[in-house]
Structure 1
């Protein structure tokens, strides 16, 4: 049986994945009259550059001998994944802004872009996963899992899903929701750097954003070895730095928007 607390935390994470970014959009629209176009473009950039381009490329690389060799080295793998995430997402932001948001360059729309970018990431990665976990948990607790799911996937995979949901500590299903709050904050901060680069026409800041993105992502592979709370503490640190930057950058953008 999947514990009631685990199911509650799955539901909480599901709510966070959908309602946190939506709530931010509503707040920012009412308070600052952000452009919903910026939210949409931010979401589109993540979907295209991560979902359609980078992730399928990584899946393709997974069968290549050079990548298999690279994967034997944790440091190089972490660096590769962090850099590619930075390159695809930050260059994607730049392209999205240049193509669709030339008339919407402002601090408030940089924040809107980041909410869209991080929000669709939360919905696709956490929201869909939490929804699936809730469905699987319901089937397990009603005794229907083996009949409904087990007949459609391999027995090994079905057993792995079942054992994970039953044996994983309940708090693990809440961690994902909390992490998405941190991640969206970081995505807003990175988006503002690219907006600044475009507004100032100083594209060296795109490189800074790529390197910063890699610096945030790459060490997690090592930090996770010390436990999930160490990894989340690291992400929280970057979220706090990002939040401070988001707040302070408003004054910087004011001079550019005149």
Structure 2
């Protein structure tokens, strides 16, 4: 899953939306990817299981797990985005490895090696690690003073002023 999803992110940032080099692009992509996954998994759960089979604690842990997954998708999108901005494919590989690390507890739970609560705790720890790496990547990108002209996709004076984010409504 990690290679496929991170490959999709890499493809999107390099081919589908290559001229959008502002941080909001990475955040929006992560929210869209994670949000769609959250909605589709919720619909699938409702179609497969009866509403009576859900307990309150199961629902709370499902929301916790899906929220953590959403944050993970945002973090992984930031990592791949920073790799594309710096033209370093190792960020893609790091994101794929982190994604795989986050998926390990899920596989362990499916084979009965750990409980659901342990799975959620390990998954949350992996997502926290993704967030820390994403934060490091983003800070490193900022400290290098790398600005990209969003109109041409080439190094320049930075993106044009955006009245929505500049406070000029």
Q: Assess, with a 3 A threshold, how the Cα gap between structure 1 residues 123 and 179 changes in structure 2: closer, same or farther.
A: same
- Which structure ranks higher in relative contact order (CA pairs < 8 Å, sequence separation ≥ 6)? 1
CA RMSD of aligned residues (A): 2.4
Deviates more, 1:225-234 or 1:205-214: 205-214
CA displacement at 1:203 relative to structure 2:
1.2
Aligned to 2:47: 132
Structure-to-structure mapping, 1:106-255, within 5 angstroms:
106-126=22-42, 128-132=43-47, 136-137=50-51, 165=53, 169-222=55-108, 225-254=113-142, 255=145
Structure-to-structure mapping, 1:47-62, within 5 angstroms:
none
> Would you tell me which structure has more helix in proportion to its own residues?
1
Question: Which structure would you say has the larger Rg?
Answer: 1
Deviates more, 1:108-117 or 1:221-230: 221-230
Find the aligned partners of 1:240 and 1:207 in 2 and give their Cα distance.
Answer: 18
Find the aligned partners of 1:218 and 1:130 in 2 and give their Cα distance.
Answer: 21
Segments of 5+ residues of structure 1 without an aligned counterpart are 1-84, 141-164
Segments of 5+ residues of structure 2 without an aligned counterpart are 148-157, 159-169
1:183–1:239 Cα contact (<8 Å) kept: yes
CA displacement at 1:246 relative to structure 2:
4.3
Find the aligned partners of 1:120 and 1:176 in 2 and give their Cα distance.
Answer: 15
